[in-house]
Structure 1
Amino acid sequence: MSRVTLSVSDLRKTIKRKEIIKGLNFELREGEVFGFLGPNGAGKTTTIRMLVGLIKPTSGSIRICGYDVKSDFTKAMKYMGCIVENPELYPFLSGYENLLHFARMLPGANEGRIQDVINLVGLQARIDDKVKTYSLGMRQRLGIAQALLNKPKVLILDEPTNGLDPAGIREMRQFIRALAEKEGLSVLVSSHLLSEIQLLCDRVAIISKGEIIQVDTVHNLLNTQEKIIWKLEPLEKGKRILRGLTEVTETEDGYLITPFQERDAGRWNQELTKQGVLVMEMNRKLPALEELFLELTGGGGGGIG
């Protein structure tokens, strides 16, 4: 198993006597893209601000590559790169001048490293142009290049595809995956675009009202919610038989929905046929992450984001 690069243990934050973050526990591993999902006000941004050292936790621990953020802040942050909300760039400087400015604040971030990150994010052709002429996607790439200057092991991106068009979103998704797979980075992506998280991430943590509801691979999360869609004739008789075997819901257009249970599905089909019900359709349906998200969070958040 890949080594752990970020470890969060019983993380809590209280603001004005109200507990906003309630005992979070999760880990990031080398080379994975980890989705951090929650409705507005769920606590995503508060958590990210604690992870990158912008605010202090009330209690609990954050360890980056083995270093505790509280007791070894400088060493821990050496391995952290982040973009919280929008990248802070100087529009009247060129892309290269922006990187040079930030590199001067980082020990070891020399001109060779600047060239490395330029190549990594694919901005070679436009790096000497002023940032004010960049598209939003190019600015995001330059911001990520800035975050990579200190050779971090953990990269945190808060809404990295926000405002991008579909082509830009696809390009950013491919870029983030390449960072994880080719560079071995652990990338935490906070986003509300559930369809993108489904395509992008290896594992997902779902947070609601300051608590993590579930952490698992996208595949496992969706498999727990897999359904069977039935079209039966006669409908009422089929519904009665299935309800004697499992949970059943009915759609407005006359389809029946049951949980997917591989060992039982064939037996249910056999029982319907045996009792004279025609099985006109029987389809397995894997839910979109959005459906699971809404089911787990109740469709809302509350509190401070």
Structure 2
Amino acid sequence: MSDITLSVKGLRKVIGKRVIIKDLSFELKRGEVFGFLGPNGAGKTTTIRMLVGLIKPTAGSIHICGLDISKQFTRAMRHLGCIVENPELYPFLSGMDNLRHFAVMLSGTGQERIDEVVRLVGMQERVNDKVSTYSLGMRQRLGIAQAMLGRPDVLILDEPTNGLDPSGIREMRAFIRFLAEEEGLTVLVSSHLLHEIQLMCDRVAIISKGEIVRVDSVQALLSREERLVWRLMPYESGKSILSNRTPILNEEEETVTTVYSEREAGEWNRELVEAGVRVLEMNRKLPALEDLFLELTGGESID
């Protein structure tokens, strides 16, 4: 069985004369949580809708477990579960009756599988209550149970923590990690909570203006952007010397931030000292994913 569960190559979407998505390519692996981030209008939602078959791409290919969705749509979709925006549930029915209703549409999905997904999402105690009595977090869990009825290999979750309180966000994060690590699912998560993506995901793709600007592991993304934070006296003289050697990335409260270079940092420090500038602090710093996101997207806010 291939480790690649979702493969996107040269994906493109044109509406009228406007190019919405420009040649996106990425692959997802079995058992990983993959974050998909983009500012408002970047094309993230359009991409997700193409992945789940709600709209057709203008060009490019999408393969789910080796199946081309343009040629083998029904077979490919059997390997995919998704929640796009909000779970579609009947509030006047119980959680169990909702699951039974959706299970009828899936060949070979009986009560045994329904009970299995109920246990998986931890809904045993409330599954027979009406959905109208559920909290938002419980509705999200029931939506995931519904998406998993068909035993998918790939699970796509659009804003799964949207509207949850801090406790619910932590529970959802742990649950998504469980699905990947214990159940072996590939989980693609789109979210505007960058801190949660940083804690939850193995890899991240950042999309801006219809193009992927970076895709890598969270650790690799952040370590590649390591910074040096300097506190100098006199400040202006020290900043001037550093700016002649390396770009100044940020200034805040009499500190200046530059790129980190293990090879050159000692030389910069020596030059400062010889010029009579006291180096009060020189600290290595990994940026938060939010800082990197804003830098890569030109400061655009996330949707």
Runs of 4+ in 1 over 4 A off after TM superposition: none
SS at match of 1:24: strand
Gaps of 5+ in 2: none
Q: Is the 8 A contact 1:99 1:114 kept in 2?
A: yes
Please show how residues 40-189 of structure 1 align to structure 2 within 5 Å.
Answer: 40-189=40-189
Per-residue CA distance 1:41-81 (angstroms, 9 max, x = gap): 11111111111111111111000000000011111001000
Letter in 2 for 1:156: I
Task: Show the counterpart of 1:18.
Answer: 18
CA distance in 2, matches of 1:289, 1:252: 19
State the Cα distance separating 1:131 from its structure 2 match: 0.7
Residue 274 of structure 1, CA deviation: 4.0
- Aligned: 1:32 with 2:26: no
Q: Is the CA contact 1:41–1:301 (under 8 Å) kept in the aligned structure 2?
A: no
3-state SS, counterpart of residue 263 of structure 1: coil
Tell me the distance in 1 between the aligned counterparts of 2:154 and 2:253. 48
Q: Is the 8 A contact 1:14 1:20 kept in 2?
A: yes
- What is the CA–CA distance in structure 2 between the aligned matches of 1:26 and 1:251, rounded to whole Å? 35
Cα distance in 2 for partners of 1:102, 1:183 equals: 22
Distance of 1:99 and 1:227 partners within structure 2: 50
1:8 corresponds to: 8
* Distance apart, 1:266 and its partner CA: 2.7
Aligned length: 302
Query: Once the 2 structures are TM-superposed, how far is the Cα of residue 279 of structure 1 from its aligned partner?
Result: 1.5
SS of 1:213's equivalent? strand
**Whole-angstrom distance in 2 between the partners of 1:242 and 1:143:** 53
Structure 1 stretch 150-159 or stretch 259-268: which is displaced more?
A: 259-268
The alignment yields a C-alpha RMSD, in angstroms, of 1.7
Amino-acid identity (%): 68
Cα deviation code 1:180-207 (max 9, x no counterpart): 0100100000111111111111111111
Compute the displacement of 1:250 (Å).
6.0
TM-score (norm 2): 0.95
Query: Quick one: distance in 1 between partners of 2:245 and 2:103?
Result: 65
Give the aligned partner of residue 285 of structure 2.
285
The answer (yes or no) to whether the contact 2:228–2:257 under 8 Å persists in 1 is: yes
Query: Post-superposition shift, 1:256?
Result: 1.8
Where in structure 2 are the equivalents of 1:247-286 lying within 5 Å?
247-248=247-248, 251-286=251-286
Q: 1:177 to 1:264 in 2, by over 3 A?
A: same
Q: Contact conserved, 1:206 with 1:215, CA < 8 A, in 2?
A: yes
* Conserved 8 A contact 2:64-2:80: yes
Q: Distance in 1 between matches of 2:15 and 2:217?
A: 32
Question: 1:233 touches 1:278 (CA, 8 Å); kept in 2?
Answer: yes
Amino acid paired to 1:115: D
CA distance in 2 between partners of 1:250 and 1:68 (Å): 46
After superposition, the C-alpha distances for 1:236-266 in whole angstroms (9 at most, x for unaligned) are: 3323432343223562522122111122223
